[in-house]
Amino acid sequence: MQPNLYHVLGAKQFSRAELDDLFEASKRMEEVVRAGGNRSHEGRIMTTLFFEASTRTRLSFESAMSRLGGSVIGTENAAQFSSAIKGETLEDTIRIVTGYSDVIVIRHTDIGAAKRAAAVAGVPVINAGDGAGEHPTQALLDAYTIQKEMSRIDGVRIAMVGDLAYGRTVHSLSYILANYKDVMIYYISPDNVRIPSSVKRYMEERGVRYEETTDLNAVAGSIDVLYQTRIQKERFPSLEEYEKASGQYIVDEELLSRMQKNAIVMHPLPRAGEITEGVDSDPRAAYFRQAQNGLYIRMALIDKCLKGV
Ligand code: CP
């Protein structure tokens, strides 16, 4: 890995000081967007290589680069429409794309794919999701959303709900939250998709309080943030396992009525029925504002990558 490059590969790489700086930079990017964008990265090119489906991550990265005056090349279905289908290795693809662009954003099916890419890249690599592994830029926008909505992250009480085994966003968000004081995490999931022991071990090493439970109703009234996730059908080994996990936790108006008046509901999206549309009009429904924050965070990350370490 070239030492002068700034990659975004996993959430553990961020310190509290870096998070504070990034959130300040993201706030400035909100101003840039309000002013119609700038030309700060005119002439620079970003490649998006998406081997898995995406709406928010790919389009917000592409919008972010455009808002900074840069250009975008890429493929939204790299598994079929890049030469991966002819047998080209990920490493060779990255070696080639390095010659065409200044930063690479990659989403891949395999855990560790972004790290493999960074090992051979001559430009910064940003992990836009690696299978069931991590989704660090999502976690950064999630933490930024909590800070904006609650005016703090220290002391926050958060319930992460749903598919905690394959849900890469909750892995990365846990690692980010480990930088903050007095955080309490409730991991609430069906039995067959519990939070991995590797995540729990990291929380223990960092002294983060957490509790595993299956009872969302029991904690709904005492939390600041309800972070709902989709049960990801596409990641289960069998339909039977998926059906065991699906439909158990639905955020609806009844559940919302038990939550605190200043609590928020978040979701990385897309949703597939686990938050009813009746919740959308409640001011505590923060998930669309959360998705919008992805633009500002990704502008700040692109800016950081292009400026280098
Ligand atoms: N939250 C998220 O990663 O959404 P997409 O899959 O649409 O990018």
Per-domain residue ranges of the chain: 11-134+293-307, 136-291
- Looking at residue 261, what is its pLDDT? 97
At 31, which amino acid appears? Answer: E
Tokens of 258: 């038990």
E strands present in 43-96? 45-50, 71-75
Tokens of 147: 């800070």
Determine if ligand 1 sits within 6 Å of the CB of residue 107. Answer: no
What are the C-alpha distances in Å from 303 to residues 133, 219, 289?
Answer: 25, 39, 22
The pLDDT-based confidence of 247 (bands split at 50, 70, 90) is: confident
Q: 11 pLDDT exceeds 90?
A: yes
- Looking at residue 232, what is its pLDDT? 82
Question: What's the rounded mean pLDDT across residues 9-30?
Answer: 98
For a ligand 1 pocket test, name from 55, 109, 172, 271 the mutation site with the most ligand atoms within 8 angstroms of its C-beta: 55
Closest protein CA for atom 4 of ligand 1:
56
- Look at residue 108 and give its three-state secondary structure: strand
Q: What is the dihedral of CA 145, 16, 152, 196, to 10 degrees?
A: 60
- Looking at residue 4, what is its pLDDT? 87
What are the C-alpha distances in Å from 194 to residues 167, 226, 235?
Answer: 10, 17, 14
Question: What's the rounded mean pLDDT across residues 277-297?
Answer: 98
- Looking at residue 109, what is its pLDDT? 95
Q: Any catalytic annotation for residue 89? A: no
Q: 3 pLDDT exceeds 90?
A: no
From the candidates 47, 48, 57, 169, which is the catalytic residue?
57
Tokens of 286: 């923060």
Determine if ligand 1 sits within 6 Å of the CB of residue 55. Answer: yes
- Looking at residue 224, what is its pLDDT? 98
Q: Any catalytic annotation for residue 298? A: no
The CATH number of 136-291, from 3.30.70.1290, 3.40.50.1370, 3.40.50.300, 3.30.2130.10, is 3.40.50.1370
Q: Poorest-confidence range of 1-10, 205-214, 286-295?
A: 1-10
d(CA 219, CA 227): 13
- Looking at residue 235, what is its pLDDT? 87
32-71 pLDDT tens trace? 999 999 999 999 999 999 999 999 999 999 999 999 999 9
Q: Any catalytic annotation for residue 86? A: yes
d(CA 225, CA 124): 33
Same fold yes or no, 11-134+293-307 and 136-291? yes
Determine if ligand 1 sits within 6 Å of the CB of residue 109. Answer: no
- Percent of the chain beyond pLDDT 70? 100
| 11-134+293-307 classified as CATH 3.90.79.10 | no
The pLDDT-based confidence of 245 (bands split at 50, 70, 90) is: confident
Tokens of 90: 């990920």
Question: What's the rounded mean pLDDT across residues 167-177?
Answer: 97
Q: Poorest-confidence range of 17-26, 151-160, 227-236, 290-299?
A: 227-236
From the candidates 44, 107, 148, 267, which is the catalytic residue?
107
- Looking at residue 309, what is its pLDDT? 65
Mean per-residue pLDDT over the chain, rounded: 96
d(CA 136, CA 145): 14
Q: Note whether 117 and 104 are within 8 A (CB).
A: yes
Kindly write down the DSSP assignment for every residue of 210-221, as one continuous string: EEEES-HHHHGG
Determine if ligand 1 sits within 6 Å of the CB of residue 268. Answer: yes
Tokens of 68: 């900074």
Q: 179 pLDDT exceeds 70?
A: yes
At 245, which amino acid appears? Answer: A
